[in-house]
Amino acid sequence: MKENLLTDQPFQPQTDKERLKIIIVLAIPAVIENFFQTLLGFVDTYFVSQISLAAVSAVGITNAVLAIYFALFMAIGVAANVRIANFLGANQPEKARHISQQSIILAIIFGILTGLATWFFAEPLLRLMGIEEEVLELGSLYFRIVGIPSVIMSLMFVMSAILRGAGDTKTPMMISIVINGINAVLDYVLIFGFLFIPELGIVGAAIATVVSRLIGSLALFYYVNKEKVLAFRKHYWQLDKGHLLELSTLGAPAAGERLVMRAGQIVYFGFVVALGTNAFAAHQIAGNVEVFSYMIGYGFATAATILVGQQIGAGNLAEARKYAKLSTQVTVVFMTLLGAVLFFFGDWAASFFTEDPEVISDIGTALKISGVFQPFLAVLMVLTGAFQGANNTKFPMYLTAFGMWAIRTLLVYLLGIQLEWGLAGVWIAIGIDIAFRAVVLVIQFRRDKWMALEKAPEPEAQCHPQTTKENMSTNANNY
């Protein structure tokens, strides 16, 4: 495996061109990983759709519940990513190694707890979604097979984050591509049967998911241990209440942010459903097209989290600010270009999903509105990643809660339902929420209110000898 960027970088970049190269090298693998996950997710959905529409609904409803699990697992991953980057930036590899192993322990604990919750409450949890009996029966079966061993999912999220925290975004990308390919092959074989393997239907889809994730977890475990700065130490597997509390405290707001977002989506989805079946279908299809823009945003947000976290750990506050600013600027450029594509070619993309002219028109309108707000989305995603890299996970959570409930959900109702703007009103409301939160983050960033420095480790004297009091100053150019 190639040496990671953070621990083996021989010099501090002196120009924005050098910084940009580092950002892109870290971001592109994350973008590619998201692309393949989305692409193969479409393949997965297609295979399940060949079973029945009830099976598609069962998998979809199950994934909606699993999204709550994912929020918890991703939060542990965010905390591990940030703290590992901090410690490596401060030239404290043993602390990075220790906290990486403690984060794996925390992942196992939460994975077991969610698995037990699935075992005992799978059916009641799905009933809360108000689904029909046929869907409930299939959903409960699928949910138990996939959800009981959720410790596998937890380990995948967290160990991928550990590698990214060490500056290795390529390994999670390669493993993700491989296991999603394995999942697609197993889907076909187990769902429809092949040679001596019987046709298993939705059970086959669930088994394919679990097996591919198990392979991914084992591969990630191998590569984490192979990283010289993260190689496991036997005595670090003992529970450390201090580190576990530290990870939980840093990760809890990140989990809260995703849970608040999920809860808000459920509410305003109800408003979209009230607009009619065609409008809801158009909303879902437009979302499936727009998701490609999120791949870029998440990729560069990952790079921002890693680089800001590393520089905070090293005490290079001005450098951390430069990386946050430059990551945001380059993402705005890329996502503005993609926004133009959505604006001008949205109707054309819609024609691949349906022949209904009304639905195509609604999808096109939604994507035009989305295209206009893409620069704001870029700022929101990358600065959120930068805030997290600076150990500030609370402010994005508070901002998401306010934006989702006081702006997005309210405006979806007012514009979409009360003023009868339909789907256009829904997407304008979403865009206003995104723009509002992006502007607030920029203001906080300009005011230097985006770092939680009390949680960052103290850099050791031998770390980055070129670091001086001058480059620890935060008086960089304003955003």
Q: Coil, helix or strand for 194?
A: strand
Paired tokens of 134: 């046929």
**What are 355-406's pLDDT values in tens digits?**
778 888 888 899 999 999 999 999 999 999 999 888 888 899 899 989 988 8
Q: Coil, helix or strand for 316?
A: coil
Check whether 76 has a pLDDT greater than 80: yes
CA distance 449 to 458: 20
Nearest CA-CA partner of 319 in 6, 49, 41 = 6
With a CB cutoff of 8 Å and minimum separation 6, the contacts of 371 are: 338, 339, 340, 341, 342, 343, 344, 346
Check whether 467 has a pLDDT greater than 90: no
DSSP 11: S
Intra-chain end-to-end CA distance of the chain, in Å: 37
Percent of the chain at pLDDT exceeding 70: 87
Burial of 96: CB neighbours in 10 Å, binned 0-12, 13-18, 19+: buried
3-state secondary structure 239-283: CCHHHHHHHHHHHHHHHHHHHHHHHHHHHHHHHHHHCCHHHHHHH
- pTM score above 0.85: no
Residue 453 banded pLDDT, cuts 50, 70, 90: low
Check whether 142 has a pLDDT greater than 60: yes
Question: Is the alpha carbon torsion for 52, 56, 57, 61 positive or negative?
Answer: positive
